[in-house]
């Protein structure tokens, strides 16, 4: 018999967060979170995402052992302001037992009906800064700190339970050695002159902070037309600043401004922390922090985390200015591979940015939908 239990205490939340550690034990491709950070991100008193979201956390128990978990999410901005009657689910992990998946997903459906919602979609997080999608291809590729990894049977469970494909995402990678820098240097010079633009480079985190709010305004302008978009609040931006910006190498953040110093493009790149997180195994101390700091300084792979271009400057080659600025940084650090985070397959504007880099698709993922 499978029992479902709602998480109500901090001790139980830690069990919720730690379940995948046993599910993916000895898996070479799963990248674990830092347990303490993950627990805190689910704390309604600490994470401002809960200003516009409701979440309930559940585990499935069989023979006195945890065999599955799920978060049932309602983004209230989405349901009330955008009138999108969507019930979300995320952080979905299960053993290979479809009855476990059924019990957990039935609970999400029950909550959706109680709130007069029309359909379920997942796995997705609270908003566009969260992880998204169940992996459907690329199970032999190491994950990143900003994507979910899962076993191949996840999508099979969802499909057998009546879920249909909703959105398709691709992840790609390209070799830094394939970048024709002379081409981008020439284009960068021409574009800066033509549109009266200039790049901004940083050597300290403190100098970046005054631009972060404007960066998120531009993020909204860049992505607001996507069907997945939900606005990011000022409190969430402040939370992002505190939690992430201070840990990103300042030279890995590039801005482009116009003649009036208004931001028209940005890119945030992170060193790959995947191997370091695997070595840390969920703990910062005693050695986890050492592995992360070492990766921050010495990783030869980088992940393009966020990139945005103002709609007025899209398809005008502005990204050439950004890549021209990244080139000397990557060269000095001996960067070998550039990794892209999940992109909607039909987001043709973002694909245009990468087409000259000969990207190779190495993973696919999707969200699934079930009408209520």
Q: pLDDT tens digits for the chain (372 residues)?
A: 999 999 999 999 999 999 999 999 999 999 999 999 999 999 999 999 999 999 999 999 999 999 999 999 999 999 999 999 999 999 999 999 999 999 999 999 999 999 999 999 999 999 988 999 999 999 999 999 999 999 999 999 999 999 999 999 999 999 988 788 888 899 999 999 999 999 999 999 889 999 999 999 999 988 887 777 888 888 998 888 888 887 889 999 999 999 999 999 999 999 999 999 999 999 999 999 999 999 999 999 999 998 999 999 988 989 899 999 999 999 999 999 999 999 999 887 777 777 778 899 999 999 999 999
Residues 103 and 68: their CA atoms lie apart, in Å, by 9
Residues 116 and 85: their CA atoms lie apart, in Å, by 8
Residues 78 and 81: their CA atoms lie apart, in Å, by 6
CATH of domain 2-169: 3.40.630.30
> Is 111 within 8 Å of 372 (Cβ atoms)?
no
Place of tokens 């480079």: 201
Whole-prediction pTM value? 0.94
**CATH 3.40.630.30 residue ranges for the chain:** 2-169, 174-364
Residues 213 and 80: their CA atoms lie apart, in Å, by 25
Distance of CA 194 to the CA centre of its chain: 34
Beta pairing class for 119-122 and 86-94:
parallel
Burial class (CB in 10 A: 0-12, 13-18, 19+), 266: buried
Could you tell me the CATH superfamily of domain 174-364? Gcn5-related N-acetyltransferase (GNAT) (3.40.630.30)
Phi, psi (rounded to 5 degrees) for 144: -125, 170
């Amino acid at each position: 018999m499978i029992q479902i239990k709602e998480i109500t205490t901090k001790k139980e939340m830690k069990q919720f967060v730690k379940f995948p550690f046993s599910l993916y034990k000895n898996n070479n491709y799963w990248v674990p979170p830092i347990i303490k950070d993950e627990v805190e991100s689910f704390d309604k008193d600490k994470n401002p995402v809960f200003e516009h979201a409701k979440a309930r956390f559940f585990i499935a128990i069989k023979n006195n052992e945890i065999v599955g978990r799920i978060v049932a999410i309602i983004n209230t901005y989405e349901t009330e302001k955008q009138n999108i009657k969507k019930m979300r689910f995320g952080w979905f992990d299960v053993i290979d037992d479809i009855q476990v998946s059924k019990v957990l997903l039935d609970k999400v459906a029950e909550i959706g009906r109680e709130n007069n919602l029309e359909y379920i979609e997942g796995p997705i997080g609270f908003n566009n800064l969260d992880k998204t999608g169940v992996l459907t291809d690329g199970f032999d590729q190491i994950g990143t700190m900003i994507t979910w990894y899962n076993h191949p049977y996840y999508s099979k469970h969802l499909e057998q339970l009546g879920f249909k494909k909703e959105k398709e995402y691709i992840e790609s990678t390209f070799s830094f050695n394939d970048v024709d820098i002379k081409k981008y240097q020439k284009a960068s010079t021409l574009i800066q002159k033509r549109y009266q633009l200039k790049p901004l480079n940083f050597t300290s985190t403190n100098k970046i902070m005054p631009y972060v709010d404007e960066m998120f305004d531009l993020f909204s302008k860049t992505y607001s037309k996507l069907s997945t978009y939900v606005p990011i609040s000022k409190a969430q931006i402040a939370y992002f600043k505190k939690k992430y910006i201070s840990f990103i190498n300042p030279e890995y953040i590039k801005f482009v401004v116009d003649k009036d110093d208004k931001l028209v493009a940005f890119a945030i790149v992170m060193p790959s922390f995947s191997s370091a997180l695997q070595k840390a195994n969920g703990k910062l101390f005693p050695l986890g922090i050492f592995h992360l700091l070492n990766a921050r300084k010495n990783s030869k792979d980088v992940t393009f985390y966020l990139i945005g271009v103002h709609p007025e400057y899209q398809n005008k080659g502005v990204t050439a200015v950004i890549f021209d600025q990244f080139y000397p940084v990557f060269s000095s650090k001996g960067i070998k591979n550039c990794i892209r985070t999940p992109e909607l397959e039909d987001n043709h504007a973002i694909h245009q940015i990468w087409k000259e880099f000969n990207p190779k698709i190495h993973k696919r993922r999707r969200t699934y939908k079930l009408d209520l």
